[in-house]
Structure 1
Amino acid sequence: MSTDDEMTVSCGYANVFEALFDDPAEAEDLRIRADRMIDICEKLQGVPTYRATALLDVSRKRWKSLLKGHISEFSLEQLEQMWSTLN
């Protein structure tokens, strides 16, 4: 390839979830849940575990699952409830 050549790569997906799931509704649900998990973790960054679990009213195990990104363990409703508790 010379320096005049350009390479353009396009995957055709708006996000990774669209690439993984055929159902657009399922992909969107996962994208929203992932974003909300990130929001919660960022909001509580630096907060001790005992305080985070008390604020969210969840067990330590559940808090660790959230931190590790175990998205399948949380419904959108649960995540929205946690988020509303923090705001």
Structure 2
Amino acid sequence: MNLGKVIGTVIATRKDERLVGSKLMITQPLDYDYKPIGNPFIAVDTVGAGIGEVVIYTTSGTAARLAARKMEAPIDIAIVGIVDKVDIEP
């Protein structure tokens, strides 16, 4: 699992029928100091995250489809948690 920040939403009125009802969020990967790393991507939101929230996401296709409860859907990344706080011991 990884950390990311939701930076936007995607609205697609035409999409694979197996994605109907899925909320699509643009997510920026973060390191554990909340600094952006890599390129943003689109993830299926399974927890009701909103723009500006730090989230936990999974990048394994099978885990993402399990989280979304859509095993036959074309999902590679899913948001599976909303982060309240990260504590790292020095």
Higher strand content, 1 or 2:
2
